[in-house]
Structure 1
Amino acid sequence: MQVTGQLSILHLILGASIPVMCVMLILSAASIVSWAMIIQRSKALKEATEDTRKFEDRFWSGVDLSKLYNEVSARANVSGMESLFKAGFKEFARLHKTNARQPSAVMEGTQRAMRVCLSREVERLEMHLPFLATVGSISPYIGLFGTVWGIMTSFIALGAVQQATLAMVAPGIAEALIATAIGLFAAIPAVIAYNRFSHRVEQLENAYANFVEEFSNILHRQAVSGGDGQ
């Protein structure tokens, strides 16, 4: 019975009308792409969270900021909190050399550099999330279009004969329900992943913003006291 059911479902998919078939193909492609993005984003956000924790431990361990800056600058690819630190410290050192007697000007430029870097980092973390949101929101409606089309086809066929039977309308209704099922299969994981990833991005963004404020306070004390920063 199980094998027969599977074969009948496959038969219905392959024998679906062209509009319903197009709906199934679109939803299947959206589901495959969204799953690929879910896996990629999951790995990226996990790495970002681990890198943030490691850098915070290193930063608050009492290491000399100049030494830490040299360590970070020596790496080719820097992202996340390290990128914020690098941008802020570099701008602070540059401005402090030319505006040593104007701490407010130094800090304004430093904070601006870190805000720009923060915006880029958040944008990088949110990569692919709009696509997941789109798949989650429109897939049920695309599946509903296939459902409506399949039922409409069934009723049109029903009206063209004098004596209606269940066998005449069953295929159209069945393919309509399959389109709905594929739409839900594409939408549900995308919605769950989007909500989960959005929460993790928000947590990282808050951690980045808190670091910017804390690091700014440290640099401000150096600027006021006449510290070099290098």
Structure 2
Amino acid sequence: MEPDTLAMAQEIDFSLLALFVRATFTVKLVMLVLIAASFWSWAIIIQKLIAFRRARAEADSFDEAFWSGDPLDELFETLGPDPATAPQKIFASGMVEWQRSHRQDGGLIAGAAARIDRSMDVAIAKEAELLNGGLSFLATVGSTAPFVGLFGTVWGIKHAFEQIALQQNTNLAVVAPGIAEALVATALGLLAAIPAVVFYNKLSADSDRIVGGYESFADEFSTILSRQLDA
């Protein structure tokens, strides 16, 4: 490498901030979008990890109360028709429909079992929607961020070649800054996409397990009520 070229290259600041400042407006916009997507993804990831841990704890606590042997009517009176946690809401939806299915003379209205199942299914669907909220954003970031970063890289390289043509100089000191700025966009795209994909898969599996637990409880509760109906 020529001494002049080496000296020029050593004077160039290759820090991330300097590369961002020197980048074109389009590449800067791509970088900002990717940084914002990465921060938003991590906010969703942290919030979901906390929410799922709380959901599992609430399910364990309610299972202990439900299977404690106390009468279900007393448990329902303690919780009320609008409880706070997801398992309690599913239980309450079934109990509310169970009480509504009784006539004034004490008999049951026909089709009570089907209505109770539908009530709990609706409650489960609402809770599943809350659990899965935000996961679609992670999936979108995981699938699109690398391509957004690649777009920034392609645009930055195009700008670098334009500068080479204007200056009519192919020295490394002229080429390297533009290429480095362009590659930062791809790096940011991967930095946003990889955690989003990894945690999307994990959180989706965790959500399925939690919802599966709700569905199992609803089936068990429906079986208990069916015995009461048959009796």
TM-score (norm 1): 0.89
Is the counterpart of residue 9 in structure 1 residue 16 in structure 2? Answer: yes
Distance in 2 between residues matched to 1:171 and 1:157, nearest whole Å: 11
**Kept in 2: contact 1:136–1:186 (CA 8 A):** yes
Equivalent residue number for residue 121 of structure 1:
127
Distance in 1 between residues matched to 2:230 and 2:106, nearest whole Å: 9
Equivalent residue number for residue 82 of structure 1:
88
Structure 1 residues 141-195: Cα deviation after superposition (integer angstroms, max 9, x where no partner):
1100011111111222223344421111111110111111111111111111111
Q: In the alignment, residue 18 of structure 2 is paired with which amino acid? A: H
Distance in 1 between residues matched to 2:130 and 2:167, nearest whole Å: 59
Q: How does 1:140-179 map to 2 (within 5 A)?
A: 140-179=146-185
Q: In the alignment, residue 20 of structure 1 is paired with which amino acid? A: V
**Kept in 2: contact 1:143–1:180 (CA 8 A):** yes
1:136 to 134, 142, 155: 142
Distance in 1 between residues matched to 2:152 and 2:108, nearest whole Å: 66
Structure 1 residues 89-118: Cα deviation after superposition (integer angstroms, max 9, x where no partner):
110111123696557511111111111111
Is the counterpart of residue 23 in structure 1 residue 24 in structure 2? Answer: no
Equivalent residue number for residue 228 of structure 1:
none
Q: How does 1:167-206 map to 2 (within 5 A)?
A: 167-206=173-212
**Kept in 2: contact 1:34–1:132 (CA 8 A):** yes
Distance in 1 between residues matched to 2:67 and 2:148, nearest whole Å: 51
Q: In the alignment, residue 96 of structure 1 is paired with which amino acid? A: H
Equivalent residue number for residue 65 of structure 2:
58
2:224 to 210, 218, 221: 218
Distance in 1 between residues matched to 2:131 and 2:203, nearest whole Å: 9
Distance in 2 between residues matched to 1:144 and 1:77, nearest whole Å: 49
Evaluate the alpha carbon distance shift between residue 184 and residue 168 of structure 1 in structure 2; reply closer, same or farther with a 3 A threshold. Answer: same
**Kept in 1: contact 2:27–2:155 (CA 8 A):** yes
**Kept in 1: contact 2:155–2:182 (CA 8 A):** yes
Aligned Cα root-mean-square deviation (Å): 2.1
**Kept in 2: contact 1:79–1:121 (CA 8 A):** no
Percent identity over the alignment is 42
Distance in 1 between residues matched to 2:13 and 2:142, nearest whole Å: 27
**Kept in 1: contact 2:83–2:92 (CA 8 A):** no
Is the counterpart of residue 34 in structure 1 residue 29 in structure 2? Answer: no
Distance in 2 between residues matched to 1:32 and 1:147, nearest whole Å: 21
| Matched residue SS, 2:48 | helix
Q: How many residues align?
A: 221
TM-score (norm 2): 0.89
